[in-house]
Amino acid sequence: MKIFKGKKMWKIVFITACVMAGVFIGTAVFAGKKDSGTKETGTKETAKKEEKEEIITIEIWDWQAGPAFDNAFEKLVPVYEAMHPNIKIDRTGYNLSEWDELIKTALLSGDLPDLFGLYQGPQLWEVADTGILFEWDDVINADPVWKANLGKNYGIGGTLDRHGNT
């Protein structure tokens, strides 16, 4: 078994986090839907229902532009989209050197993507202070079935808030 260290490990963690965030967003969108109590029968009715389902595009930005990360996304995105035919992933990879300025500009213009990575520390605090970050607690707790099937939540070690707390 090969153990990854350094940048490669963080890339793997970031990919996993992005994909999981996409899963959570896709699930959260449908968490509020209620069953009308009627059952559809026949393939024609089912096909009509599927045709009417709105396509949801999840825009993802990251600072990992390059062959390794791009190749991973090229493999993961079609798998996810096949599992969720009404969801389209639109990922844009940027260079690390432009990331901080890109996020600040997008934040000021109100043109941020649905999912994006932040560095722990000042960049995270600046964005958190705007109040735009979404807390998952209410969404998770609102649906007992979803909550029961979610399993345990784990944080990524080494992340600290502005007061030095983990």
Give the integer Cα–Cα distance in Å for 156 and 19: 15
Average pLDDT, the chain: 74
pLDDT at 132: 83
Inform me whether the pLDDT recorded for 166 exceeds 70: no
| Domain boundaries defined on the chain | 7-28+55-150
**What's 4's DSSP letter?**
-
| Predicted confidence band of residue 44 (pLDDT cuts 50, 70, 90) | low
| pTM higher than the cut 0.75 | no
Of 37-41, 46-50, 131-135, the range with the lowest mean pLDDT is 37-41
3-state SS, residue 111: coil
Q: N- to C-terminal Cα distance for the chain?
A: 30
Which residues does 53 contact at the CB level (< 8 Å), separation at least 6? 85, 86
pLDDT at 34: 46
Which of 34-38, 100-104, 142-146: highest mean pLDDT? Answer: 100-104
Average pLDDT over residues 125-151: 80
Average pLDDT over residues 62-77: 91
Of 2-6, 100-104, 105-109, 159-163, the range with the lowest mean pLDDT is 2-6
Q: Which of 95, 97, 96, 104 is nearest to 123 (CA)?
A: 104
Of 11-20, 22-31, 37-46, the range with the lowest mean pLDDT is 22-31
pLDDT at 101: 93
Give the integer Cα–Cα distance in Å for 160 and 85: 37
Report the percent of the chain where pLDDT is more than 90.
29
Give the integer Cα–Cα distance in Å for 71 and 60: 15
| Fold entry, domain 7-28+55-150 | D-Maltodextrin-Binding Protein; domain 2 (3.40.190)
Q: Is the dihedral of CA 115, 117, 123, 129 positive or negative?
A: positive
Give the integer Cα–Cα distance in Å for 118 and 124: 6
C-alpha radius of gyration, the chain, whole number: 18
Inform me whether the pLDDT recorded for 9 exceeds 90: no
